[in-house]
């Protein structure tokens, strides 16, 4: 099956309000509650895979003044979420819904179950209320509601049901990823030739959306205030604002805002808002240092999304490796190299340079500290591009680096899906022990 760049953007890139893991949990609850005849909610029970659990555990939920937790996300979705908004499901949550959700969690009416051996993205939600039982199931994509059941009767027709699944049940995402894997880097770059005015407008929307988060982070310094702190260091003359630092400031300030629960959406990439920040903002930051047409910047961002999707096709949606580093970081460095006039060889070299630098960065859940990782990924994306343009390229004899950029990205996938399974379990165990301790 053939895809176009428009299909990649439609399936992989979307606005998301809040971290996509708790948002997906909220969506599951909101979808189930929408089936209840009287909308009365007595209890909620959810079952989630380890990576959803890990990423939804500690990150702040937007519009709640710093509240967190999988049970809270589920309660918020149930009490005030609008499932038709998909990854912006929490945009409709108001103060009354927050109060009701808090009371529900305190009353222990929300139960969270961890499916320790589950592979892939899976969320099952069962809501009991008013003598009825409603269920929703989300798989594959954070907003891919594949099943709705009311009182043991499957719902066949609903606007919430598979937007990303064909009638034969084959996931459009799986088809897209299989198609992407068969392409060479040359062919991935050539996809940019299909960008039309609608695509360019959508890509510009992503820039605008993510810049709003960055502006908020710089003005208010939420979370760890990584971006604002770096900006202050520039003003104090302790560091210089070059390409690398500009990229770090922009990406991390947006992450500061997003991870602290600011009620502003991010344009996501490959199912992650932080991936979207990393894939877009370093390229935007570099623009101010170059004499280039803005249309070329938009093309570079398009390439960044494509490469990000390519890497995620090998690593999976969620994993033990920080996707902002190795996937969105690869996309960003490819886009930056393209923007600076690099050839296919330069782009390939930049991807390999970045991979050698950041392959060991683990994902230990979504939280405020992600701003530090985005700062690292953004700066390294710029550095990897500059090095490659200067002829500095990691050799294929080094570690997991392949002879080509395609092989290198495949190796990252192998490392993630085969080599770091136990690492992922260990990370989760550490987080669970910390969560349930009395510290």
CB count in 10 Å sphere of residue 40: 13
Of 143, 167, 191, which closes a domain?
A: 167
Residue 169 has pLDDT above 60, yes or no: no
Predicted local distance difference test score (pLDDT) of residue 172: 82
pLDDT at 162: 72
pLDDT at 163 (0 to 100): 53
Does one domain contain both 119 and 234?
no
Model's pTM, two decimal places?
A: 0.94
pLDDT, mean of residues 23-34: 97
Alpha-carbon span 175 to 304, nearest angstrom: 20
196 and 157 both lie in a single domain: no
CATH number of the domain that 358 lies in?
1.10.4100.10
pLDDT in tens, 336-384: 999 999 999 999 999 999 999 999 899 999 999 999 999 999 999 999 9
> Are residues 255 and 141 part of one domain?
no
**401-426 average pLDDT score:** 93
- Summarize the confidence of residues 397-413 as an average pLDDT: 95
- Written as six digits, the tokens of 310 are 């390519």
Tens digits of per-residue pLDDT, 118-151? 888 999 999 999 999 999 999 988 999 999 999 9
268 close to 392: Cβ distance less than 8 angstroms: no
Does residue 5 register a pLDDT over 90? yes
pLDDT at 117: 83
Residue 28 lies in a domain: yes
In a domain, 31, yes or no: yes
Tokens of 17: 């309000």
- Least confident interval from 56-60, 95-99, 110-114, 209-213: 56-60
| Residues 344, 276 share a domain | yes
pLDDT of residue 165: 46
Pairing of strands 110-114, 122-129: unpaired
Question: For 191-217, what is the mean pLDDT?
Answer: 98
Report the CATH number that the domain containing residue 150 is assigned in CATH.
3.30.1330
Give domain status of residue 79, yes or no: yes
| 237 pLDDT higher than 90 | yes
Per-residue pLDDT at 167 exceeds 50: no
Give the span between the Cα atoms of 222 and 260, in whole angstroms: 6
161-175, 242-256, 291-305, 378-392: lowest mean pLDDT where? 161-175
Tell which phi-psi region holds residue 153, choosing left (phi > 0), alpha (psi between -120 and 50) or beta. beta
Range of the domain at 273: 183-433
Whether 354 and 217 share a structural domain: yes
Widest CA span of the chain, in angstroms? 69
Same domain, 130 and 212: no
Q: What's the rounded mean pLDDT across residues 145-170?
A: 77
Question: Tokens at residue 418, please?
Answer: 């085969």
Backbone angles phi, psi at 211, to 5 degrees: -65, -35
In a domain, 50, yes or no: yes
Residue 282, pLDDT score:
98
Q: What is the 3-state secondary structure (H, E, C) of the chain?
A: CCCCHHHHHHHHCCEECCCHHHHHHHHHHHHHHCCCCCCCCCEEEEEECHHHHHHHCCCECCCCCCCECHHHHHHHHHHHCCHHHHHHHHHHCCHHHHHHHHHHHHCCCEEEEECCCCCCCEEEEEEEECCEEEEEEEECCCCCEEEEEECCEECCCCCCCCCCECCCCCEHHHHHHHHHHCCCHHHHHHHHHHCCHHHHHHHHHHHHHHHHHHHHHHHHCCCCCHHHHHHHHHHCCCCCCCHHHHHHHHHHHHHHHHHCCCCCCEECECCEHHHHHHHHHHHHHHHCCCCCCHHHHHHHHHHHHHHHHHHHHHHCCCCCECHHHHCHHHHHHHHHHHHCCCCHHHHHHHHHHHHHHHCCCECCCCCCCHHHHHHHHHHHHHHHHHHHHCCCCCCCCCCCCCCCHHHHHHHHHHHHHHHCHHHHHHHHHHHHHHHCCCC
pLDDT at 170: 47
The residue-averaged pLDDT of 151-177 equals 75
Domain count, the chain: 2
184 CB contacts (<8 Å, ≥6 apart)?
A: 406
Region 13-17: mean pLDDT is 95
Q: Show Cβ contacts of residue 148 under 8 Å, excluding neighbours closer than 6 positions.
A: 31, 32, 35, 134, 135, 136, 154, 155, 158, 160, 161
Give the CA count within 13 Å in the CB-facing half-sphere of 334.
33
Shared domain check, 323 and 273:
yes
What is the tens place of the pLDDT at every residue in 242-278?
A: 999 999 999 999 999 999 999 999 999 998 999 999 9
Q: Are residues 196 and 124 in the same domain?
A: no
Nearest Cα to Cα of residue 230 among 306, 158, 242? 242
The 10s digit of each residue's pLDDT in 30-55 is: 999 999 998 889 999 999 999 999 99
Same domain, 355 and 389: yes
Q: What is the pLDDT of residue 164?
A: 45
Phi first, then psi: what are they for 96, rounded to 5°? Answer: -65, -40
Shared domain check, 321 and 226: yes
Using the predicted structure, report yes or no on whether residue 435 has a pLDDT greater than 70: no
Predicted pLDDT of residue 205: 98
Q: What is the mean pLDDT of the chain?
A: 94
Q: What is the pLDDT of residue 437?
A: 45
């Amino acid at each position: 099956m053939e895809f176009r760049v428009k299909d990649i953007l439609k399936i992989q890139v979307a606005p998301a309000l809040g971290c996509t893991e708790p948002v997906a949990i909220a969506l599951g609850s909101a979808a189930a509650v929408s089936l209840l005849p009287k909308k009365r909610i007595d209890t909620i029970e959810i079952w989630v895979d380890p990576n959803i659990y890990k990423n939804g555990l500690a990150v702040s939920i937007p519009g709640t003044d710093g509240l967190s937790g999988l049970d809270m996300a589920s309660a918020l979705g149930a009490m005030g979420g609008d499932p038709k908004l998909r990854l912006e499901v929490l945009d409709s949550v108001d103060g009354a819904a927050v109060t009701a959700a808090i009371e529900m969690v305190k009353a222990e009416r929300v139960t969270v179950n961890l499916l320790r051996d589950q592979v892939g993205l899976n969320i099952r939600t069962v809501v009991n209320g008013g003598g009825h039982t409603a269920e929703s199931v989300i798989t594959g994509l954070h907003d891919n509601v594949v099943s709705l059941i009311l009182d043991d009767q499957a719902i066949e027709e609903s606007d919430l049901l598979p937007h990303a699944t064909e009638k034969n049940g084959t996931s459009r995402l799986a088809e897209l990823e299989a198609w992407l894997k068969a392409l060479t880097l040359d062919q991935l770059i050539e996809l940019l030739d299909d960008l039309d005015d609608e695509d360019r407008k959508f890509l510009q929307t992503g820039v605008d959306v993510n810049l709003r988060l960055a502006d908020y982070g710089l003005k208010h310094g939420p979370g760890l205030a990584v971006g604002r702190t770096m900006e202050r260091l520039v003003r104090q003359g302790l560091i210089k604002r070059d390409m690398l630092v500009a990229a770090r400031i922009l990406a991390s300030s947006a992450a500061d805002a997003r991870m602290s629960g600011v009620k502003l959406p991010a344009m996501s990439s490959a199912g992650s808002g932080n991936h979207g920040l990393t894939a877009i903002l370093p390229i935007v930051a570099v623009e101010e240092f170059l004499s280039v047409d803005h249309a070329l910047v938009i093309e570079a961002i398009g390439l960044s999304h494509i490469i990000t999707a390519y890497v995620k096709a090998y690593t999976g949606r969620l994993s033990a490796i920080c996707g902002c580093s190795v996937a969105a970081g690869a996309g960003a460095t490819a886009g930056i190299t393209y923007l600076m006039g690099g050839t296919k060889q330069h782009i390939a070299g930049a991807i390999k340079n970045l991979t050698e630098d950041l392959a060991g960065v683990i994902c230990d859940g979504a939280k405020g500290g992600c701003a530090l990782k985005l700062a690292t990924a953004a700066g390294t994306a710029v550095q990897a591009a500059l090095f490659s343009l200067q002829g500095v390229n990691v050799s294929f004899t080094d570690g997991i680096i392949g002879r080509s950029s395609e092989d290198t990205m495949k190796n990252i996938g192998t490392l993630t899906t085969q080599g770091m399974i136990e690492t992922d379990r260990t990370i989760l165990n550490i987080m669970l022990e910390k969560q349930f301790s009395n510290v």
